[in-house]
Amino acid sequence: MSALFPLVVEAAKTTRRGKVLAGPVDLRFEAEGTTVVIGPNGAGKTSLLRMLHGTARLSGGRISWACGTEEARHHQAFVFQRPIMLRRSVEENLIYPLRIRGIDRAEAREKAHQWAQRVGLAGMMDRAAPSLSGGEQQKLALARALITDPKVVFLDEPCASLDGRAMREIEEVLMTARTGGTRLIMSTHDMGQARRLADDVIFLLHGKVHECADAANFFLTPRTQQGRAFLRGDIVE
C-alpha cells in the first residue's frame, strides 16, 4: 500500500477572481487503479486535477495525503493536455527530472534511453523536442512524467486531438503504468477511452461532483438524469 494514500478531499474548492472553478468537493482516493474525470466543457475537470495536484490554490476546505504534503509532491507528476517541452533534445527532456532529483548523468541517461524505447522515441533522442509531432510530444511528456517512478500521475486529457494510433500507444503506456502500481487520475472527453481505462468515474457538473461511482456501474446505470444525458451525447447544462 502506498504511503501517499488515502488521499482525502474535504469541502475543497478553488476560485479565480471570485468565481468558483471547482468545488466544494468531498472525495477519497485509495492507492490503486485509474480514476477518470468526465463532464461537459467548463465543468471544472482541469481545475479539479490541478487542485488535487497542488498547483491550484485552495480557497476553502482541505486536501490531505497520508504523508506530508512535501513528500506527496515528490512522488507525483502531472501531464498537461498541451505538452510543455523544454527547448532541448528529447534526451535532455527525459534526463531533466532525474537530474533535479540528484541522479547522476550516466544513470539518468541510461534510464532516459530505456523510457524512449518504451514509448517509441528511441530513434529521436537527438531531435529538438519542440519539432516532434503532437503525438510524439505527448509520448515524451508521458515518459518524462513516469521516468521518476511516481506513485500517482494526474493527466489532463492526455489524448486530446491525437489520432487513433497515437491514442492507442499512449493508453498502452498508461495501462502498463497502472499494472506496475502507479495510481492514475485523469480527465478525458472521449467516452470510449473512459470505458477502456476507468476503474471508477467522477462525473463533474458546474464544478461539483455530480456522480462518483465504479466505472461499470456508472456506464451501465448512471444514477442521475444529467449523467444519463451526458452518456447519450446530449448537451448538459
Domain regions of the chain by residue span: 7-78+149-232
In CATH terms, the fold of domain 7-78+149-232 is Rossmann fold (3.40.50)
Q: What is the pLDDT of residue 114?
A: 95
pLDDT of residue 231: 95
Counting residues of the chain whose pLDDT is more than 90, the rounded percentage is 82
* End-to-end alpha carbon distance in the chain: 39
Low-confidence ranges of the chain (pLDDT < 70): 1-2
pTM: 0.94
How far apart are the C-alpha atoms of 57 and 63, rounded to whole Å?
A: 11
